[in-house]
């Protein structure tokens, strides 16, 4: 490794490949000198070459840069930065610590990686992560582009790359289990299920040891890089393998008509608080990358993880936007779900901003035009912005949908009027903005909390396996075990649980908004009552493929419901129509058990409504009974242009295949009333005679 050294240039940031070598550029405002470490092999304990950057030649403004001749893609590198150690001013420079490149497109993790060494005094070179030089633009996309499917024709499936195929019963070859390549093999399952987009839990390189000792961070909300695909999700062993394998996955999903949405974590990093490690940002410019407390010596913690990224600082804004550009332009993803997105609205002192620069940067950026943007519009410090998140293009995870639907089906009082609002796209939250009906992302389960099976099987969380004495995880689950805590052989309770699961799916997939469902809920995946399984990389979290056959009837119900949801939207939606316009022109009539007499009282547990498509070709009559006894619902008469009788599409109280019918063969309902058993949902439809 004897290539010559030239001053290089400050742009682009990161490691950029040229025919005769590589240009390196990194930001450090208060660093006094910078060393570039070059490694002969990914896991060598020591660098084979150290290039010291002279600030007189290799610094322009706050950017340190150098061009090293003869280097090529696959080169392993890292930095060391010397500067003041003065916590009272926010400075935590430590020249002993090996640092990742914030713009590195690949990361290697040595087998003996020691997270704690990043916080102990002394050299951590032998046990530190390193970055990899990548040639970013040589991949053959074969004409692939992001799909840009409208939200109104989308059903989102939240899933985990590793957990989807890691189980030995997945049928995937051992070397591909839990990888991007393994996911590709299961695309036919996703197509059959009918979903149109997968929302992947974090795939940026993260620190799997950022969790209690002895466990593994499974979810991945512990980023160390905003550009590098997580190496453990690649079946390839070569340094640059994860990049191409990720792109192979995206290309294959696009060919199947499935979009790829990434869950991105721009609110904190895995470096933690004062007791945390140093692997990148702390050692480059701690005082700028993080929001610090007023005394500068400790970290503001709006994320609940120990630190908070200073998202509206100009350097961090550029980092975030450059990362998003990279994943759209060079990795072809279709959208992003922003974890704890409300943190991105905080200024450098943690105060909420009326017009946060980074959010407007993303909103107005031409590269992001047409890309799906989804906000988890709250943070761990109590800032809750559902219904008030800025911008014209952001969709929002609707936590109120989750809580209100759970409460209604659980049988809680005072929930009927709130349920009505959730069914109509939550106009109480979003109607004032004159936005599209899909602004509300509707879900009842996600990675954080109970699975759908556990929601109807447990009253209490059971998180002992997390080694925190069940102090972790929320206590507000709005769950109901249907009479027995945990698994049971009682057929009556099992039948009730199955019916409740179908009720949840029916409401989620029929409500106005963008529906999101959780991986494995369609086959009753269980976490045995653990509602915070972030640190369980085992069968507690993995998709159990034996359940596909065992839960064949439920899987059929869900796939049929998704397919007809998408067909229904073609009749009920008009491009460019706002939620308020849709509710005005679609005609929705509310009922109780008696026509035109909805019961909005505190003790009510039932609701019915009739909705007509915009062009008059369809009518749907939906009845929801969360009461513990059967109810008799009056049915509205049909107009002359519609068929002479209602037809039964869904009845969650009926055994399969009567629980959901093909429209073409759905049975007629000849009575003027409909008998709906306890805790069930029914949907009837009628259409024009032609």
Residues designated as active site: 339, 376
- CA distances in angstroms from 305 to 96, 212, 265, 492, listed in the order given: 25, 13, 12, 43
Which has the closest alpha carbon to 448: 420, 482, 424, 473? 473
Neighbours of 351 (CB within 10 A): 8
Neighbours of 590 (CB within 10 A): 16
3-state SS string for 137-188: CCCCCCCCCCCCCCHHHCCEEEECHHHHHCCHHHCCCHHHCCCHHHHHHCHH
| CA 538 to chain CA centroid, nearest Å | 20
Name, in order, each residue with C-beta under 8 angstroms of 196's C-beta and a sequence gap of 6 or more: 149, 153, 154, 155, 156, 257, 258, 259, 566
E-only strand ranges, 527-617: 588-591, 606-612
For residues 613 and 687, what is the distance between their CA atoms, to the nearest angstrom?
10
Which tokens hold the place of 182? 């393994």
Contact 525, 148 (CB under 8 A): no
Which tokens hold the place of 177? 């289990």
Element (H, E) at 108: strand 107-108
Which tokens hold the place of 599? 């019961």
Contact 4, 49 (CB under 8 A): no
**DSSP 3-state of 508:** helix
Which tokens hold the place of 461? 């969380």
Helices (H) and strands (E) in the chain, counts: 16, 28
Contact 652, 620 (CB under 8 A): no
- CA distances in angstroms from 388 to 157, 308, 422, 427, 513, listed in the order given: 25, 22, 16, 12, 16
Contact 392, 370 (CB under 8 A): no
Angle value at C-alpha 244, between 243 and 248, nearest 5 degrees: 125
Longest CA pairwise span in the chain (Å): 89
Contact 327, 290 (CB under 8 A): no
- What are the φ/ψ torsions at residue 397 (nearest 5 degrees)? -55, 130
For residues 27 and 50, what is the distance between their CA atoms, to the nearest angstrom?
18
Which tokens hold the place of 95? 């020249």
E-only strand ranges, 278-435: 335-338, 372-375, 394-397
Which tokens hold the place of 553? 């009837």
Please measure the distance between the N-terminal and C-terminal CA atoms of the chain and give it in whole angstroms. Answer: 78
Burial of 190 (0-12, 13-18, 19+ CB in 10 A): buried
Element (H, E) at 262: strand 259-264
Which tokens hold the place of 449? 């909390």
The residue count of the chain comes to: 690
Angle value at C-alpha 249, between 195 and 450, nearest 5 degrees: 50
DSSP state of 524: T
Neighbours of 309 (CB within 10 A): 27
């Amino acid at each position: 490794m004897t290539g010559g050294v030239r001053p290089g240039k400050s742009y682009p940031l990161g490691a950029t490949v040229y025919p005769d070598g590589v240009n390196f550029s990194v930001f450090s405002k208060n660093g006094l000198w910078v060393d570039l470490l070059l490694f002969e092999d990914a896991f060598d304990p020591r660098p084979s070459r150290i290039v010291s950057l002279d600030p007189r030649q290799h610094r322009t403004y706050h950017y340190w840069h150098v061009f090293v001749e003869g280097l090529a893609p696959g080169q392993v590198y890292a930095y060391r930065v010397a500067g003041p150690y003065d916590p009272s001013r926010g400075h935590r420079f430590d020249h002993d610590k090996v640092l990742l490149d914030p713009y590195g497109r690949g990361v290697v993790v040595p087998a003996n990686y020691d997270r704690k060494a990043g916080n102990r005094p002394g050299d951590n070179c032998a046990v530190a992560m390193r970055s990899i030089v990548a040639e970013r633009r040589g991949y053959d996309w074969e004409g692939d582009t992001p799909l840009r499917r409208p939200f109104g024709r989308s059903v989102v499936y939240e899933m985990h790359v590793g957990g989807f195929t890691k189980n030995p019963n997945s049928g995937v070859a051992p070397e591909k289990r839990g990888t991007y390549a393994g996911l590709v093999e299961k695309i036919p399952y996703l197509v059959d299920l009918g979903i149109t987009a997968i929302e992947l839990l974090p795939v940026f390189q993260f620190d799997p040891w950022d969790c209690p000792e002895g466990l593994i961070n499974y979810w991945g909300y512990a980023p160390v890089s905003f550009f590098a695909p997580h190496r453990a999700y690649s079946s390839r062993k070569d340094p640059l393998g994860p990049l191409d394998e990720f792109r192979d996955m995206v290309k294959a999903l696009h060919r199947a008509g499935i979009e790829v949405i990434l869950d991105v974590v721009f609110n904190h990093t895995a470096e933690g608080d004062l007791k945390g490690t140093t692997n990148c940002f702390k050692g480059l410019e701690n005082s700028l990358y993080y929001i610090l407390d007023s005394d500068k010596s400790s970290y503001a913690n709006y994320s609940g993880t120990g630190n908070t990224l200073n998202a509206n600082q100009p350097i961090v804004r550029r980092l975030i936007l450059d990362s998003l550009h990279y994943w759209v332009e060079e990795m072809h993803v279709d959208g992003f779900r922003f974890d704890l997105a409300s943190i991105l609205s905080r200024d450098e002192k943690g105060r909420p901003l009326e017009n946060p620069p980074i959010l407007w940067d993303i909103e107005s950026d031409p590269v992001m035009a047409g890309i799906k943007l989804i906000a988890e519009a709250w943070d761990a410090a109590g800032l809750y912005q559902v219904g008030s998140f800025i911008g014209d293009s952001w969709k929002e995870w609707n936590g109120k949908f989750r809580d209100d639907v759970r409460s209604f089906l659980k049988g809680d009082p005072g929930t009927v009027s709130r349920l009505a609002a959730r069914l109509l796209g939550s106009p109480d939250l979003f109607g004032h903005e004159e936005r599209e009906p899909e602004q509300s992302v509707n879900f009842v389960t996600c990675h954080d909390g109970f699975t759908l099976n556990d929601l109807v099987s447990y009253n209490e969380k059971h998180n002992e396996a997390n080694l925190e004495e069940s102090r972790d995880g929320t206590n507000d689950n709005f769950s109901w075990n249907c009479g027995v805590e945990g698994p049971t052989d009682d057929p009556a309770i099992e039948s009730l649980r199955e019916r409740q699961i179908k009720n949840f799916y029916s409401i989620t997939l029929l409500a106005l908004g963008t529906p999101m469902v959780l991986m494995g809920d369609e086959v009753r995946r269980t976490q045995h009552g653990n509602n915070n399984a972030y640190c369980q990389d085992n069968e507690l979290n993995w998709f159990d493929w034996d359940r596909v056959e065992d839960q064949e009837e439920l899987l059929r119900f869900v796939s049929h419901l998704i397919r007809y949801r998408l067909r229904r939207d073609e009749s009920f939606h008009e491009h460019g129509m706002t939620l308020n316009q849709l509710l005005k022109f679609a005609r929705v009539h509310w009922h109780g058990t008696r026509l035109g007499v909805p019961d909005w009282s505190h003790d009510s547990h039932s609701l019915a409504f009739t909705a007509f498509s915009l062009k008059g070709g369809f009518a749907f009559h939906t009845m929801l009974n969360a009461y513990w006894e059967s109810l008799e619902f009056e049915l509205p008469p049909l107009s002359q242009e519609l068929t002479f009788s209602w037809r039964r599409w869904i009845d969650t109280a009926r055994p399969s295949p009567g629980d959901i019918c093909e429209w073409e063969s759905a049975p007629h309902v000849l009575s003027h009333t409909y008998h709906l058993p306890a805790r069930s949902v029914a949907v009837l439809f009628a259409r024009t005679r032609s």
